[in-house]
Structure formats: C-alpha cells, structure tokens
Structure 1
Amino acid sequence: MNSDRAVGAQPTASAHKRFALASPARRALLRFGLTGTAALGATAALGAVPASAAPAAPARRRPSTPQEALRELAAGNQRWSTCRERHPDESPSVRQALTSAQHPFAVILGCIDSRVPPELVFDQGLGDLMTVRSAGEVLDEAVLGSVAYGVLELDIPLVVVLGHQSCGAVKAAVTADESGDRLPAHIQYVADQIAPNIDRAKEGDARIASTIDANVRAVRTRLAGEPDLAAKVSTGKLAIVGARYDLTTQRVQRVV
C-alpha cells in the first residue's frame, strides 16, 4: 500500500467531542476500563501455558508517525499477498505484556466481510491494530466513538478506511437503488448510508466497483472533518487514508 499522502480536513460538528472535554480523571478511568489489567477467570483458562515456558520474543518497535505506520502496513500486506506471513506478536511474552496495556499503531475501519480480516491482511498480531468493522464501513455514533477513542485516548497516528472488492453491502445498496425495493430490517439503514455515494455514471459491475471506492472516499472525508481528528491531522500527528483490498490479488491499494 503506497503511503505518500495524508488527508486534510475541514472541521464539522461532532457528537464525540466529549472525549476532548472529559476531565483528566474521567479520561484516565475510561482508558483503564477499555485497556484492562486482567480478564475475568484468567487463572482458570483451559490449556494455559505459563509465559516462562517459551523464550521471550524481542519487542517490536511501535510505529509512532503516520508514515511509519503506513510503511509497516504495506510491508505486512506484502508478506500476506506473497504467502510469507510472520504472524508477529503472538508469543506468550507478548500476551502477558498486553494484560497491562495496549499500544496499537493503526485504526482500521473495515467491512464486516469474513474474507477481509485486517490482522491477517496486514500480517499483524495482538495489540498492533485497533479494528472497527461495520457493513460497508458505514459510520454511526458507535463507530465514530470507537475511531475517536483509538486516536484521542491511545494516540494512534493512522486511521485506514478499508473497503474491498466485491463488497456485499455496496452491491446490496446499488441493487436496492436500481430496483426501488426495500431491504429487510436494519440492512436498509446501511444501504441508505451508502446510496449517496453510488456512481450512477457507470453500469453493472463497473458501477459497484466505482461505488466501493467512492464510499471509501466519503467515509474518509467525513472522518477527516471531525474537529478532534482534524486538529490531529493539521499538526501532522494523524493521517486518515482510504484503501481497497482486492480479493483476487490479496493486495491493498490506496484510494485517493
């Protein structure tokens, strides 16, 4: 995945500005609650292996800038697409270290599609990525709050909006738009969010493919317009980029 350009931002109103306005004590409590120090029932885990039973793996340096994070994701995707995965950060020592803190270096906002798990696509391990997934990368308050938490509370320097080839949510939105039929239950909500991004200048499969990229751009633009995130982008501490995963090649390409 190329990493040569970050996205700017125009501020708009945001419901999750409460993260920035929270008191220090509340922010500390929130951070403690979501990172955690131990899992309930950990001492009774089946098949547990003491960390001392295996040699400690050397700690990987956490990318601290948007550019470093992009390079790490690009390298991981290269390994994945050539079947040379390393499956990093899965050792007993890493698992033990993660019981007290987490320091992910990228937020991946992706689709729920089972064929596109970010940790595999980018060949990353435990504690490396904060993944947020919704059908078609659709935004709502829960998704916005999850992305904001990663950036504002965990100081993550990169957000990637990851669409993918043959997205079922986009196809459903395009099909419903063309037929005028209503989709069942809450699926219609997803289609309604994607509908403004449909590329009606194209037909058939080309319309779906173009809409996948247009939807990624729209989600990226909306995130980049959130005031708290825009402030980070303006200082160079955060990049928000769009990308698409191709199922046929297993490669991730930038969407600009």
Structure 2
Amino acid sequence: MTDTAITPAEAWQRMLDGNERFVAGDPQHPHQDVERRHEIAAAQTPTAALFGCSDSRLSAEIIFDMGLGDLFVVRNAGQVTGESIMGSLEYAVEVLKVPLIVVLGHDECGAVGAAIESLRPDAPMLPSAIWRQVSPIVQAVRRARQEQVTAGEDAEEINAWRVGQLHLRDTITSILHSSELISDAVASGRLGIVGANYRLAEGTAVPDVLVGVAETAAAE
C-alpha cells in the first residue's frame, strides 16, 4: 500500500517524476497488475487527490505514470468547484488522509473556450446546464480582457491560456475559502495544494501555484 506518511512535497515529487517519465516516453506503468489489484481491494491510501478537467486528453494516471490506488481523481468540465467537488476533496483529505491536492488545468480547454465565446455580443445562448458549468470561468475571462486593455493590446481575441491560468488560481482560492477542513489541513502543514497547467502537445504538467509545498520546480 502507499505510504501515507509522505509529505506534500514528496507526494508532488512522485507525480513530477512520473510526468517526466511520461514526457520522455519511458513510462514504468506501476501498480497496474493483478497483484496490485488484489493488494488494494480492501482499502485505498492514494498519494494525492487530483481535481482536473474531464477532457479526454487528461487521463491522470497516464500523464503522471501512476496506477491503481495511487490517485483519488475528481473531474468535471473546466475543473469548476461545487458542492460535490468539495465533498469529494474533503473526503480525500479527512478520510483518506492524502497529503496533497493537485488542481490540473490545461491548454485548449473547451470550457474556457465556451466562457470566452459567451461574452461575445453575437454569442448564441448556451444550454442552461452548460452555462452553469462555465459561468464561474467568466470572471477570469473578464480579468484577462482587462489586462489586455490595460496593456494596450487588442482585446478582441482574448488570451485563452491566460484565462485558464487565472481560472486555475481562482479554483484554488475557492477550495481554500470553501472548506475550513482543507484550509486548516494546509495551515497545519499536513496538506499541500499544487495548481498546475498541463500542456497537451508536450505532455508536461507545469506548476503555477504551490501552497504548503516546497518549490520543487519553478512555477511560471
């Protein structure tokens, strides 16, 4: 079983090491055999909880070269927080005792694109459920557009990568503000949170926000 005594920094390093193997094309595919399946059948002690986008190109165990029982994965379109998301993350922290939450955004995100398009004057009305999903991202769109205006840049074409980065940071802020349990675990040093952006073509998970985690890699 996974050692639950590892620190947030050690948990993140394991994930970085796995991502490096994946990028290099030399994955080990750990914990994906019959023995592992039997080993974890009675209980799970994952290395980390990962909250990411539902995008089919973001298979967490593949891009971090991990296996069964290694990650507690929570996903929805655009990694938008909500009641079920927070309940799942609190479960991971309080019951499973994960030392790390990774919030994973990515480039070319459809939810980010939909949020950007929704602010265009001629934008068609989105189906109600889709609008409710992407509407929390709109505040990041507005901030990115204002940044471009302030910098004297053309704001007609909003920088989607910047929107994704701002939304990732908003998501981490929302998690910390929404859950006293999680914020207390971070304050105690038991839990760390990493916000990372996954680059689809390169396969790299680039850290952008590190809370309660020693900086293993430079955040952009």
TMscore range, shorter length: 0.7 to 0.9
Shift of 1:63: 6.3
2:135 maps to what in 1? 192
Give the deviation of 1:105 after TM superposition: 1.1
Deviation at 1:178, TM superposition (A): 2.1
Residue 249 in structure 1 maps to residue 191 in structure 2: no
Identity %, equivalent residues: 34
Shift of 1:181: 3.5
Q: Which one has the largest radius of gyration?
A: 1
Aligned to 1:108, which of 46, 50, 53? 50
Judging changes above 3 Å, is the alpha-carbon distance between structure 1 residues 205 and 68 closer, same or farther for their aligned structure 2 residues?
farther
- The number of residue pairs the alignment matches comes to 198
Which of residues 173, 176, 182 is equivalent to 1:229?
A: 182
Check whether the contact 1:63–1:72 (CA below 8 A) recurs between aligned residues: no
Q: Report what 2:38 is aligned to.
A: 96
- Runs of 4+ in structure 1 over 6 Å off: none
- Conservation of the 8 A alpha-carbon contact between 1:63 and 1:69: no
Q: CA deviation at 1:140?
A: 1.1
1:35-184 alignment, distance < 5 Å: 61=3, 64-179=6-121, 180-184=123-127
Normalized per residue, the structure richer in strand is 2
Partner amino acid, structure 1, of 2:161: A
Aligned partner of 2:191 in structure 1 is 238
| Contact kept? 2:115, 2:134, Cα under 8 Å | yes
User: How well do the aligned residues superpose, as a CA RMSD in angstroms?
Assistant: 1.6
Cα gap change, 1:205 to 1:238, in 2 (>3 Å): farther
Q: Which of the pair has the greater relative contact order for Cα pairs under 8 Å at 6+ separation?
A: 1
User: Structure 2 unaligned runs (5+)?
Assistant: 149-154, 210-220
CA shift for structure 1 position 139: 1.0
Report the TM-score when normalising by structure 1: 0.74
Rounded Cα–Cα distance in structure 1 between residues aligned with 2:126 and 2:201: 28
Give TM-score, length-normalised by structure 2: 0.85
**Structure 1 stretches lacking a partner, 5+ long:** 1-58
How far apart, in 2, do the equivalents of 1:242 and 1:144 lie? 16
How far off its partner does 1:71 sit?
0.4
Helix, strand or coil at the partner of 2:120: helix
State the 1:190 CA deviation.
1.5
